[in-house]
Structure 1
Amino acid sequence: MLQLSTDEFTVVLQSNNKSQDWENWGVKGLILIEHFEKLSKLDTVFGEAKEIPYGVPQGYAVGYIYGDNPFYFCVAYHPEHIEMGIIVKFSAHAWAVFQENYRQIYKENIQIHNYLQMIQSEFYTSRLSRIDIAFDFMNEKVSVNTIYNQLSKGNQVIRNNSGRKNSSTLSAVIKNNHVSTFYIGSRGKNIKAFLRVYDKKLEQEQTYGFRYIEAVKLDDWTRFEAVFKGDYAHSLYEELLKINTENELKVLLVSSFTDRYQFFYKNSGKQTVFTKKMLALIHQTNFSFYSPSPRDNQLKQSIEHILHGSGLFPTMFKINEIWGYDGLKEFKEYLMEEYAVYEPNEDVTRWVNKYRYLYKKQGKPFGDNKKSAVQPTKAKNNTPHNQD
């Protein structure tokens, strides 16, 4: 299965009346933010605006989040620097939740071109400063390690749509002689584009990301993620404002990616299978953008740590082996007695207040569908084993 999507993106808003607004930008900036909030329906889709004391994008001074959510989304500005404008920063998780909530509230899908068109205003100009385009190969047996080895040995090359070879730096994350992530191009501040190819299944499983449930069900999942900044992002923005359909969006995203990144076998000069599949999407008539159901997995991660990293089960096994199942039951009762007098600290209370509604809506990360990692068995007798 091959999926195409926009991942994270950043929009910058600039006042249309800088010559007057600069004298009182601290106030005028807030007015523009409120105007933007209404156009983008942030209060309805995410929740009430709250000023944050930290986590503001670099260089900005005042930032706002919306609702109590587990993802990174921020609208920020600097009261003393009108030239910096207002930054709107969507993480991939935030954009997935925005799309999901918007669909539930307004009973229609929203893609990035719809969103950018929705926030147009006579009071400010807007443009993308960053946009990520991603191809996801799921259960397609596309190996990050193999592609990296082919590139590093010169057996594969990357060319643009005009046939020009990409001479950008190749770098990788290598562990135990295995590559799970590699980059084409520098990730420096002023770089206009780079490509990241990585094991998305591994990343989601290690971080308990918002697509963790999908990841564990797949045999393999490789992502090709192009990051466009500066002039490239600006050009894409102008094109996104012109399109009206998801099919036009599909063609634009595929073309933008493959204009810069196409993989070829050096000796034969033929495109790799995965590049051919990317290009084939342009002419695919039954294509539709996949909408993941984003989930927060922090509680799942805590439970997994208890099951596999805390030493709880080895302790239970020792008790069971020494004192039998009755001893194990007594130990569980002891734990519940200790829990009865436990007093959560402020961090725990704050977490519950923030995520209570989300988890009630999302459902338990345990229960009937979750097989227990350990099935306690009664000991043959209740006498301790000899330790010879």
Structure 2
Amino acid sequence: MPHAGLIYTALLMGTIKPLHAALTVCIILAIWGCSPQAHRQLRRHAATDTAAGRMARRQLLEENRARADSSWTRTESHHFILLTPPDSPVAADLDAFLARREAAYERIVAALKVAPDGPIRIYAYNSGRQGGTLLGQPLGFALPAEREIHVRWDQEPGHEEAHVVAWNWDQSGSGEPFLEEGLAVALSSHPGSPQAAATDLLAQGVLPDLGDLMENFSRYRNGYVLAGSFVALLLERDDPDLLRRLYTGGPPGLAERLEDATGQTLAQLQTWWETSLAAQEPVTREPVLEALSLLHLGEARAAIRVLEKQRRNVPAHPVLEFALAQALRQDDDDAGSALAFHRLLAMPLPYNLAWMKQRAREALSEMGYAEEVP
């Protein structure tokens, strides 16, 4: 309908005030209802950082909640309500899925000494594509006030749960991405992985200035892992309420708040961080698992180095090829990723790894490569 398109265009150009965004979305829905055309329009604008985009994302969330309540599988545990599509990859293993989440939850609550006042709803999607289609935004996010997380079924437990649990310190959040994401990484990653990556940067002489990292967190490609490293060390201090104080009050600005809470200057904290990293014992893990952990934290280049070194020793390992293909793709090397996926497709796989070939075919299709090995 052209009327709806004109309304949205006017909103995005500023002709309609942002305060009227809710009314605008309502008009769209009134014109188109819940038709596929309306859904596509909402998805398109959900990707924009505008008032209309925020309203579109909210509308898509509401639609998906209704869909999940009516047609998805609901499974409950002590602290979670899990909602999965009928064809979910975890359909035959829901109890084990929730057991891993419960273990992460208990660890987070013990560390933060606070808990939500009700169960957390997990929407576990079959793929990132499915989540993007239904929600109009990438998966892997929490809505702490609603005690709700939206993840791909195989996302590592802990990160989004940490966001929900920490919000209950004051039910508002800290407003500091460095602190919030650092805490989530520290409480969800494999033991040692943030410190391993940060120690590597320290050894290269490129560990960033702490003040600049906090102030310009979003500009750092490896900001998550660095924040996770620093916050993990804060958690190890003999001061159980330190993170709570940083989250809930103190001077404006995270740097000032951190100095006030610790009694140290930023320069002293920088030295403490570097000294703590230098004293870390080397992380001894099977190289593939280490690389997967780095990849999960956004450290694609570091993961590629680990995997390529290991590949020289184990040249035909399906898990190795799969992880390498993912890392290369995350590093925008589609050609290298396709080559690794093709090597994987040529390998005989046991039944418990057969899903890798399906994911490889999907990835090749998304990148525009043929499934057949060239």
* Higher RCO structure, 1 or 2 (CA under 8 Å, sep 6+): 1
Higher helix share: 2
Q: TM-score, normalised by structure 1?
A: 0.24
Q: Which has the larger radius of gyration?
A: 1
Higher strand share: 1
